Structure 1
């Protein structure tokens, strides 16, 4: 017997072409929902609603969210999985690279949510899921850009939950390391070692679907999902 479960509905996923975003799209579809993607690249699944957009460009985001909403016939939820990193000492990371990490992870999150809110307001079960990180709660060396961005996502999401309470649901996902392409292209010292404990993104995506399926009376505000030996938690 299922108690209080709500339909997943139409879900826009920023960064939904790969990694966690693609896993969220698959999980939403498996749960009976309808995913759509906002990404620079098309999704691997043929026929999935998609709009090309750089999340650091407000105009592209607004137009892209509108196009995906039109393809889906509206939006019931948005999940902001788009993210990048450029690890290194502050003095060693080029200013443009450092600032892009903040623009994509923090400002891009706000831009996607801002553009989706009018559509979510029309839904009976409008919901926002932001993606922070365990490094949004615990600072590490050589991660100033990523920590600044993800600490910002934490503050943004908590303030947004207070702002939208009673109207649109807000959940913050705080994942640990996952087996995705996120670590590709890094210097070897910043890649997980062969014995690193990393989550399968499909398992994390299931947690997102769980949060989306809860009724307003049993909201999931914050959700930490990581291996039980996650080095950046607690």
Structure 2
């Protein structure tokens, strides 16, 4: 991606990041790749201790190995999620936050998507988010305060064709997040991020590099797709004390996709 763009992807140095999550213990799902991996890495740089959860065990992270714990678990399995939460409690002494970045895509037409595929998308993207939030809630309440950041999608705000299952699951994440933001306040703040197209393995699985440049990028007001780091920076803000008066919001980090 050319950095001649007027708003190129921001790459903060450690002096801007250090200490912003000092002392916080945060579970990040989908941490093996893509946005989830970028969030886990950025949170570690910001001083958090991170439980990196994915159905494929995340590769080792740079830096102090005592600050992170990799856990292999499927978020559609409530018992596996509960075991992961207890691993964080055993290793870190508790849990202060969650970022739900795990998700899967589907591009079938609504009249062609199989019922099994429909259920799988809802099960991972929506029910999986529910499983993690509910398992972590007692620990965040015990800590006295907590933050949840759930990853929805621009499709949850403004769907287009061949995304019926995916868009439905991601719109559900927005509504669920707003509901628990009310139910679990004031102890827990809950916010949602809606990324547009981001350069991740999941997005590249649906487009060639040329399509991303010539077809997808021009759909956006900023005329490019996003980088995982840009979504991670939004999650950092919503997981830090800097957003202390923010809960129940749905933040589009999408280069202008949702209005453009």
Q: TM above 0.5, one fold?
A: yes
User: What RMSD over aligned residues (CA atoms) do the two structures have, in Å?
Assistant: 2.2
Q: Gaps (5+ residues) in structure 1?
A: none
Correspondence for 1:140: 160
SS of match in other structure, 1:105: helix
TM-score (norm. length: structure 2): 0.80
Shift of 1:193: 3.0
Shift of 1:6: 6.8
Which string of whole-angstrom CA distances, capped at 9 and with x for unpartnered residues, describes residues 100-154 of structure 1? Answer: 1111000000000000101111123311111111111112111110111011001
Of 19-28 and 49-58, the range deviating more from structure 2: 49-58
Which string of whole-angstrom CA distances, capped at 9 and with x for unpartnered residues, describes residues 77-119 of structure 1? Answer: 0000000011111232222112111110000000000001011
1:87 aligns with 2:107: yes
* 8 Å CA contact retained: 1:134, 1:175: yes
Shift of 1:208: 0.8
Correspondence for 1:31: 46
Correspondence for 1:193: 212
Change (3 A) 1:169 1:8: farther
Q: Distance in 2 between matches of 1:6 and 1:27?
A: 10
Corresponding pairs, count: 227
1:44 aligns with 2:59: yes
TM-score (norm. length: structure 1): 0.88
Correspondence for 1:227: 255
Change (3 A) 1:217 1:112: closer
Which of 72, 77, 81 is the aligned partner of 2:92? 72
Q: Distance in 2 between matches of 1:233 and 1:33?
A: 34
Q: Gaps (5+ residues) in structure 2?
A: 1-15, 218-223
* 8 Å CA contact retained: 1:50, 1:68: no
